[in-house]
């Protein structure tokens, strides 16, 4: 299992939200490039980046920051947030990003996912953000009404090889992931699953590993020092 540290970008800065609420935004680090360097030095082999501005309003203002992180650190990056068209996918890949995460657009336009997977294969991942078991969209502000498991099955049927599952109620709360929902997801789909939201202790890492989860995305716990990244990476091996 991999541990993947997260960098959420807003206005070019590293920030965190609580439960996806933009009103709770607070800066957690000065410089995304330096943050990425620290993550790599700690042993991270991939960095999970989310463009919060793009997720909310489609702005690409943070693309320059993403490109600089990749160019200056050599980091392997996956990026999500506001990817709504094949042009967006191409623009993100052109930054040097290794994996593009399609979120809200996968709900609204599933055919887009099918087309992207057909063209780019494993470079496409789908982010499933759930609250009370239904899939949320648009920076978590909209409720699709669709159950997260049936949605995951549909995405897998299109050839999606990686699903990033976030329980919104756990995100940024340092209270552990939603193991029950992750176990139900693992029992249903065969593709890779990355767990996001609430990962905050070595025991969380151990439990995710026992469930057969392929990756744990850690954000706030790493920034606050609650989860030591080198120890988490070692625990996951």
Q: DSSP string of 30-73? A: S-HHHHHHHHHHTT-S-EEEEEHHHHHH---TTHHHHHHHHHHH
Per the annotation, the verdict on 8 as an active-site residue is yes
CA atoms within 13 A on the CB side of 155: 39
Q: How is residue 160 annotated by DSSP?
A: -
Give CA–CA dist 155/71, Å, rounded: 32
d(CA 7, CA 38): 12
* 171 tagged catalytic: no
**Of 51, 88, 129, 167, which one is the catalytic site residue?**
129
8, 51, 167, 171: the active-site residue? 8
Alpha helices (H) along the chain: 32-41, 52-57, 63-73, 86-94, 104-108, 110-120, 148-157, 179-186, 202-211, 220-224, 229-236
Residues with active-site annotation: 8, 129
């Amino acid at each position: 299992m991999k541990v993947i540290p997260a960098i959420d970008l807003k206005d070019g800065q590293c920030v965190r939200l609580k439960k996806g609420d933009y009103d709770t935004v607070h800066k957690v680090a000065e410089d995304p490039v330096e943050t990425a360097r620290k993550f790599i030095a700690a042993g991270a082999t991939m960095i999970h980046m989310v463009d919060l501005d793009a997720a909310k309003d489609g702005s690409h203002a943070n693309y320059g920051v993403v490109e600089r992180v990749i160019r200056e650190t050599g980091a392997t990056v996956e990026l999500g947030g506001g990817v709504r068209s094949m042009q967006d996918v191409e623009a993100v890949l052109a930054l040097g990003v290794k994996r593009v995460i399609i979120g809200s657009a996968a709900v609204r336009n599933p055919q887009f996912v099918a087309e992207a997977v057909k063209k780019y294969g494993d470079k496409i991942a789908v982010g499933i953000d759930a609250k009370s078991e239904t899939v949320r969209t648009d920076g978590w502000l909209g409720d699709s009404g669709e159950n997260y498991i049936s949605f995951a099955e549909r995405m897998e049927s299109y050839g999606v090889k990686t699903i990033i599952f976030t329980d919104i109620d756990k995100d940024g709360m340092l209270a552990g992931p939603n193991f029950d929902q992750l176990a139900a997801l693992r029992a249903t789909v065969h593709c890779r699953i990355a767990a996001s939201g609430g990962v905050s202790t070595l025991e969380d890492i151990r439990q995710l590993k026992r469930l057969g989860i392929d990756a744990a995305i850690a954000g706030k716990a790493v920034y606050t020092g609650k989860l030591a990244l080198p120890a988490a990476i070692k625990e996951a091996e």
